[in-house]
Amino acid sequence: MTLKVLSVASEAAPLVKTGGLADVVGALPAALAAQRVEVTTLIPGYPSVLAKLGKTKAVHKWDALPGGPARLLAGKLGEARLLVLDAPALFAREGGPYADASGRDWDDNWRRFAAVARAAADIAGGAVKGRSFDLVHAHDWQAGLVPAYLRLAPLAGGRSVPSVITIHNMAFQGYFPGEIFPALGLPPSAWTVDGVESYGGVGFLKAGMQLADAITTVSPTYAGEIRSVEFGMGLEGLVLARSSRVHGILNGIDTKEWNPATDPHLAACFTAGKLAARAKNKRAIEAEFGLERDDGPLFIVVSRLTWQKGMDVFAEVLDHLVGIGGRLALLGSGDAEIEQRFHAAAARHPGRIGVRIGYDEALSHRLQGGGDAILIPSRFEPCGLTQLYGLAYGCVPVVSRTGGLADTVIDANPAALAAGVATGFQINAVNAGALAMGVSRTVALYHQTAAWKRLQTNGMKADFSWGASGAAYAALYRQLIEEQE
Ligand code: ADP
């Protein structure tokens, strides 16, 4: 039997993306189609989304969602089914999905995403004629209230369907003051620690974790880490209490978007058997970033420039990286202070370090296609996608040993090298000494041409497609639906 799943999120590639969440939500429909699961994705109608949608059809109307009236538009996300919540009072504004142009979070984010969640629960409950769903898959705090509405405030006469919540990043919890509770349209009984209340406020992610039928996160290691204070960020007790319902399912990558043999962004396409063609891409990066040509490794970074990503510590080892013959091309944006430190390093090392502050999808492909090694020294990393793109593109990942980074990169230690299975480098702590050591190990192995090539080809031949993970999600959905019957 084909299952029908409503996937609810605040972003979905290629329509709206600020990070890995969008990649995953955008890739899930195709990943699950292979498992006889038909996914419909619901996202908010930001202006950028409405502008890109093309032909749509209004399929439902609300007079009084949180925030006012709204329409539901049906369209397409690539080949897949898409629903868009067009609620102008909440979403028709310039800026990003969560913040204004100056980076300040919208004051009414709670209302914006409560509206999406309420709409999702109505849709799943059968409010829209001709559309029914067997399960709802909510992503991150923005969709955290979906399980709460389904459980605690179902549609009168509506169908009750099971729900799954996926935590893409525990650091973002959607925590708001208790005063907003009456405006959510939940019954007073929802205001308990078994409902949406969290440390005296309303916790959107917490509510989802409390009330969904299953909790997933995006790697097995992170699923274990969030049981601890350090990674659970206040919700570790809930993770422990519901541990039999917590699953770690690794993200896959969209192998159509990220295929070096066909990538239209690259100066030269290549395969594991034709690695020499990468040189042209490397030359292109050198030209674009004003870097000198030499025979040392070209490191790249494609990242948010934040504390989570360890970029403050990485900035401390740049002189070392250059001192041992490395060069760096960095693409990212984030904390102004960290950006400043990279600019300063580029000024100190002209021709050796090049920095682009901003967000540029095409450039991120070009960097993966021509860089020798990608640095990802995260303090925590639920799954991480850039190391997977690096592996697929022969851009060797140098990562900290945490979360999904630990699960996907095989360290080039002597045993792994002897067995011929290494794919990158793991750094065992996020401090300047450990990062400097990781960079040194990378430079040293880069000069052993045959061993380096083996690292690259091992990574390129590894399977990070959605096959296994799609099957794991489908099995979980089917189990939850059976439990409910
Ligand atoms: P996170 O979602 O925590 O930022 P992930 O590694 O899971 O980290 O996903 C990040 C995604 O965003 C990847 O697809 C990466 O290529 C992309 N990305 C990050 N920063 C930039 C940037 N400055 N320009 C283009 N793409 C970027």
Tell me if residue 341 falls in helix, strand or coil.
Answer: helix
CATH number, domain at 362? 3.40.50.2000
Task: Please compute the mean of the pLDDT values over residues 428-437 and round it to a whole number.
Answer: 98
* Residue span of the structural domain in which 147 resides: 3-252+466-484
Report CA(169)–ligand 1 centroid distance (Å). Answer: 13
- DSSP-derived secondary structure letter, 428: S
Q: How far apart are the C-alpha atoms of 95 and 102, rounded to whole Å?
A: 8
115 lies in the same domain as 201: yes
Burial (0-12, 13-18, 19+ Cβ within 10 Å), 256: exposed
For the cut 90, the answer to whether the pLDDT of residue 72 exceeds it is yes
The secondary element (H helix, E strand) that includes residue 38 is: strand 37-44
* Amino acid of residue 51: A
Q: Is residue 265 part of a domain?
A: no
- Tell me which of 307, 386, 402 to substitute to probe ligand 1's pocket, judged by most ligand atoms within 8 Å of the beta carbon: 386
**Do residues 185 and 305 share a domain?**
no
- Distance from C-alpha of 292 to C-alpha of 308, rounded to nearest angstrom: 31
Are residues 472 and 423 part of one domain?
A: no
Q: For residue 24, give the ligand 1 atom closest to its CA.
A: 7
Q: How far apart are CA 389 and CA 364, in angstroms?
A: 10
Residue 184 sits in the same domain as residue 285:
no
Say how many Å lie between the CA of residue 116 and the centre of ligand 1.
24
- Residues 426/439, Cβ–Cβ less than 8 Å: no
Asked if residue 116 lies in contact with residue 90, where contact means CB atoms within 8 angstroms, the answer is: no
The residue whose CA is least distant from atom 9 of ligand 1 is: 20
My answer on whether 350 and 478 are in the same domain is no
- Which residue owns the Cα nearest ligand 1 atom 14? 20
**Nearest alpha carbon to residue 459 among 423, 433, 425, 484:** 423
Which of 359, 374, 405 should be mutated for ligand 1, with most atoms under 8 A from CB?
359
Q: How far apart are CA 327 and CA 442, in angstroms?
A: 12
User: What's the average model confidence in pLDDT over 145-154?
Assistant: 96
Whole-number percent of the chain with pLDDT over 70: 100
Rounded-to-integer distance, Cα 323 and Cα 105, Å: 40
pLDDT digit string (tens) for 332-349? 999 999 999 999 999 999
**Any idea which residue has 């794919």 for tokens?**
423
203, 279: one domain: no
Do 306 and 320 fall within a single domain?
A: yes
For the record, the structure tokens of 295 come out as: 């025979």
The residue contributing the CA closest to ligand 1 atom 26 is: 361
Same domain, 403 and 478: no
Mean predicted lDDT score pLDDT of the chain: 97
Per DSSP bridges, beta strands 175-176 and 201-203 are antiparallel
The residue among 255, 247, 221, 212 whose CA lies nearest residue 34 is 255
Query: Is residue 283 a part of any domain in this protein?
Result: yes
Give me the count of residues in the chain.
485
215 and 342, same domain (yes or no): no
| 8 Å CB contact between 342 and 375 | no
Q: Is residue 264 in a domain?
A: no
Handedness of CA 39, 45, 49, 51 (dihedral sign): positive
Q: Are residues 224 and 153 in the same domain?
A: yes
Evaluated on CA atoms 378, 383, 386, 390, the torsion sign reads positive
Q: Is residue 258 part of a domain?
A: no
Question: Does the residue 390 lie in any domain?
Answer: yes
Tell me if 416 is assigned to some domain. Answer: yes
Q: What is the 3-state secondary structure (H, E, C) of 89-126?
A: HHHCCCCCCCECCCCCECCCHHHHHHHHHHHHHHHHCC
Nearest CA-CA partner of 98 in 163, 180, 174? 174
| pLDDT value of position 296 | 97
For residues 15-30, give the mean pLDDT: 94
- At 73, list the tokens: 């538009």
**Does some domain include residue 423?**
yes
Distance CA 86, CA 376 (A): 37
The arithmetic mean of pLDDT across residues 176-194, rounded, is 97
The pLDDT value given to residue 484: 87
Structure letter (DSSP) for residue 181: G
- Report residues whose beta carbon is within 6 angstroms of any ligand 1 atom: 19-20, 23, 302-304, 331-333, 359-361, 364, 383-386
Counting the structural domains of the chain, the total is 2
* Residue 269 located in a structural domain: no
Residue 332, pLDDT score: 98
Same domain, 187 and 229: yes
Give the pLDDT confidence score for residue 68 in this predicted structure.
92
* Residue whose C-alpha is closest to residue 460's, from 259, 249, 257, 218: 259
Please answer whether residues 203 and 178 qualify as being in contact, where contact means their C-beta atoms are separated by less than 8 angstroms: no
Residue 358 alpha carbon, nearest atom of ligand 1: 23
Q: Are the C-beta atoms of residues 207 and 142 closer than 8 Å to each other?
A: no
What pLDDT is stored for residue 243 in this prediction?
97
Cα-only R_g, the chain: 23
Same domain? 139 vs 223: yes
φ, ψ dihedrals at 406, nearest 5°: -65, -30
Report the separation in Å between the CA atom of 359 and the middle of ligand 1, taken as the mean of its atom positions.
9
Residue among 16, 479, 451 at smallest CA distance from 214: 479
For residue 158, pLDDT beyond 90: no
Helical H segments across 70-203, by residue range: 88-91, 109-124, 145-152
Distance 20 CA to ligand 1 centre (A): 6
Give the predicted TM-score (pTM) of the model.
0.95
